[in-house]
Amino acid sequence: MKLKFATSNPHKVEEARLVLEPYGFELDTFPHKGTEIQEEDVIKVVKYAADHLPAQEGIGLILEDSGLYINALDGFPASYSSYIFKTLGVEGILRLLEDSSDRSAHFDSAVALKFGNEVRVFTGRVYGHISKFPKGSSGFGFDPIFVPEGYSMTLGELSIEEKCRISHRGLALRRLAAWLRAAEDECPSNQ
């Protein structure tokens, strides 16, 4: 199956290629990322966007949305993470947490696959906490302040390979790839 990633974010494409390549899937980009609704749940965001993208003959379209959910901020910024990153930035989030002893958080990812008119959604979650200071220059968005559970480094300090092994997006993409592999095994004539 040919796969195209509907996103304008080159970092997401790089991570998706790294995760999907071992499964034998090649990934191109698709110039439209779909219509995003204002909704805290990343699953609803990608499902809506996928439902409203035109089907591509013989091509699976992938869409992904992620959200950072900080417990002390009642789940904020949720699926609005990209917008909040552009407006408040890393320092703005750290200021909001200055007096908080609870720095626990998680990242959620939802990856939608649209093939024809069918849409399937695969999810991933990684737990961790928000660091006191930004560390690392790898990754993007809030990676420099998110420390995954069991790690002492932020996602911004990890190599892209290590990040993809443990991240919310990597998990969702591996679930997608495993489902595609199983579907191919059931229908060998599609190969």
Is 65 an active-site residue? yes
**CB 97 within 8 Å of CB 159:** no
DSSP state of 36: P
Q: How far apart are CA 80 and CA 60, in angstroms?
A: 26
At 118 the three-state DSSP class reads strand
At 18 the three-state DSSP class reads helix
**CB 67 within 8 Å of CB 43:** no
Bridge partners (DSSP) of residue 123 are 110
Catalytic pick from 28, 41, 51, 65? 65
Q: How far apart are CA 111 and CA 121, in angstroms?
A: 6
Q: How far apart are CA 56 and CA 127, in angstroms?
A: 35
Residues annotated as catalytic are 65
